[in-house]
Structure 1
Amino acid sequence: MDLRVLAGDPVDPALGAQLTVTVGSENLGGEAVPFVRVTKGEVRTILVGQARTDGDRIDVAIRAMWSENGGWHREHWRGGDVSELLKHPAHLIPDGQQKGVISKAIAEGSRNTVSELRGLRYEMERQVADLLAQRRNTALRLVMAQLIELSIALSRARDQARDTLREVRTPGVVRHCEAMDVELGEEITRLQSLLSSVSTFAVAQEGETQQRFNTLAAAAAAGLGLPALILSLYGADDYLPFTWDTAWRALAPIAGVLVLAAGVILPRLPGRATAMNFLKAFGLIAGLIGVLLIAGLLAP
């Protein structure tokens, strides 16, 4: 595929060079430089690989890919067009310096991509903050899985920079790869710290869930147990089978105790009590009273 690379978008005829671009997945070795990019669009992807300039050709090898579809996860690279990813950064390429300048420019583009990867880390931090504040209901397991996947992606990108430092001595390339190594190391540390925090939160959330269940069970026991005790002491034969006149006298105390229990317990549950929590509780009470009413009407 013939392509004018590093000429910007829209293309500036004074910049870049017309080259043949080949794309594969095999390790290039030699004087390959890191090729790390984040694609745009509705579903973003992270591409981690290498690029090598050889005369009038650029060989690109995509070693790993992560897709945002359904949460960040590793996918198999099935080939594709990388022309959009080779338009930037735009560079003037003097005659006779094509190989060195192009290699340096591709490494610079990979270093620039670190800021986009940092932006992905910010997005994950926002998801965690929304979870803690109960502003969204994203599954905690999915968030943890994405943090691990992003950490792996950044580690693979860092490996490409380190491999280049061992093989290439071009000053401009070395400078960009050293910066990638440091910056990606910082991002990986922050992702792992965030993952540790989320793991701690998961343990706390599990304990909170158990506490919520115990509190609800205690409320249900109090709400049903007290009326049941009264009925067992004084009997319910005078009310059964229900008529519309006797039903409210039998069920009103039960409903009253259940509503009182819900009003006392819900504000004390772990987490923030919302209007929806109260609606669900009163809906459950209404359903329970409805079942008792039907049972009383059908009693022999």
Structure 2
Amino acid sequence: MDLRVLAGDPADENLGAQVTVSVGSESLDGDAVPFVRVTKEEVRRILVGHARTDGERLDVAIRAVWSENGGWHREHWRGGDVSELLRHPAHAIPGDGTRSEVIAKAVAEGSRNTVAELRGLRYEMERQVADLLAQRRNTALRLVMAQLVELSIAFSRARDQARDTLREVRNPGVVRHCEAMDAELGEEVTRLQSLLSSVSTFAVAQEGEAQQRFNMLAAAAAAGLGLPALILSLYGADAYLPFTWDKAWRALAPIAGALTLAAVIILRRMPGSTTVKHYLAALGLITGLIGVLLVAGFLAP
């Protein structure tokens, strides 16, 4: 299809060039430059590939795509219109023999500019991790780690495109942008991997905390089952059965008190912050257990 590329949005008739654009997924031979873009659609996508031009034609090869839908993940390239991604950076394109070199430089410049958007995605992941650590959101830790790995792969693939261009292209403008991409994306990959390492450490600590919580809950369950049995064995249940209302409160009040004391001690020593919901849940369990004993006492022969 014929498009006016690199003319800005809205298009400036004094900028850009009218070229024939083809988009595919097959690798391009020859002097190709990096083509890295982040779409502005409702579901953002990271496109990583390369492009080649002879001044009249611009071929784009999309080699890998990552979608934000459901958390960043790799998906197959299904084709699509990339005209929106070729409007910037707005650039004056000469009509002489340097036309192809200037278009190639502008496309590479657009890829370098995209690094800032990729950095923004890394900031978003850091915010997710911060919210997770502060318990401001309930995002699954496994999903966050998977997204960090996927973004690290995407950034590394984009960096590879810049490195491949440095080995093959001699256009000074293209080389300058690719060197900057190589350096900046290398730093982004390092920071993502450092963030992933930190999250992994947190995951280990979280597993230890979960195990400790389980042990505490097991202790609570043991207390809930053992204390009533111990107290009833000391009383001698036959003296209270079957229950009357007078016998019931005298038999169950010490049990309720012992269970409440055990629950409070366990909740205060449980790792992490203890909320009102935890106390309400404990109260509900104690009430339920006392209710079961009460009903059983009234139904005893």
Aligned to 1:287: 288
Instruction: Specify every segment of 5 or more residues in structure 2 that has no aligned partner in the other structure, as ranges.
Output: none
Is this contact kept in 1: 2:213–2:270, CA < 8 A? yes
Rounded to whole Å, the distance in 1 between the matches of 2:176 and 2:217 is 61
1:11 matched to 2:11? The reply is: yes
Alignment of 1:154-193 (within 5 A): 154-193=155-194
Instruction: Call closer, same or farther: CA 1:295–1:10 in 2, change over 3 Å.
Output: farther
Q: Which moved more, 1:260-269 or 1:54-63?
A: 260-269
Aligned to 1:29: 29
Aligned to 1:46: 46
Aligned to 1:146: 147
Rounded to whole Å, the distance in 1 between the matches of 2:253 and 2:40 is 61
Give 1:145 shift: 0.7
1:209 matched to 2:210? The reply is: yes
Rounded to whole Å, the distance in 2 between the matches of 1:242 and 1:285 is 19
Aligned to 2:64: 64
Rounded to whole Å, the distance in 1 between the matches of 2:71 and 2:217 is 33
Equivalent residue of 2:265, what SS?
Answer: helix
Is this contact kept in 1: 2:28–2:51, CA < 8 A? yes
Is this contact kept in 2: 1:89–1:108, CA < 8 A? yes
Is this contact kept in 1: 2:33–2:50, CA < 8 A? yes
| CA RMSD of superposed structures (Å) | 1.5
Is this contact kept in 1: 2:129–2:199, CA < 8 A? yes
Give 1:236 shift: 1.6
Instruction: Call closer, same or farther: CA 1:94–1:146 in 2, change over 3 Å.
Output: same
Is this contact kept in 2: 1:224–1:254, CA < 8 A? no
Q: Which moved more, 1:157-166 or 1:136-145?
A: 136-145
Is this contact kept in 1: 2:55–2:103, CA < 8 A? no
Is this contact kept in 1: 2:31–2:169, CA < 8 A? yes
Give 1:7 shift: 0.9
Aligned to 2:253: 252
Rounded to whole Å, the distance in 1 between the matches of 2:122 and 2:268 is 35
One-letter code aligned to 1:34: P
Rounded to whole Å, the distance in 2 between the matches of 1:245 and 1:18 is 96
Q: What's the TM-score once normalised by structure 2's chain length?
A: 0.95
Q: Which moved more, 1:1-10 or 1:247-256?
A: 247-256
Rounded to whole Å, the distance in 2 between the matches of 1:291 and 1:39 is 60
One-letter code aligned to 1:229: L
Equivalent residue of 1:36, what SS?
Answer: strand
Give 1:130 shift: 1.4
Equivalent residue of 2:239, what SS?
Answer: coil
Aligned to 1:93: 93
Rounded to whole Å, the distance in 1 between the matches of 2:136 and 2:268 is 18
Is this contact kept in 1: 2:227–2:259, CA < 8 A? no
Q: What's the TM-score once normalised by structure 1's chain length?
A: 0.95
1:130 matched to 2:131? The reply is: yes
Give 1:288 shift: 2.5
Aligned to 1:264: 265
Instruction: Specify every segment of 5 or more residues in structure 1 that has no aligned partner in the other structure, as ranges.
Output: none
Rounded to whole Å, the distance in 2 between the matches of 1:53 and 1:121 is 31
Q: Deviations over 1:182-208 (max 9, x none)?
A: 000001011111111111111111111
Give 1:223 shift: 4.3
Equivalent residue of 2:237, what SS?
Answer: coil
> Percent identity among equivalent residues?
83
Give 1:253 shift: 2.3
Equivalent residue of 1:40, what SS?
Answer: coil
Equivalent residue of 1:88, what SS?
Answer: coil
Equivalent residue of 1:237, what SS?
Answer: helix
Give 1:283 shift: 2.1
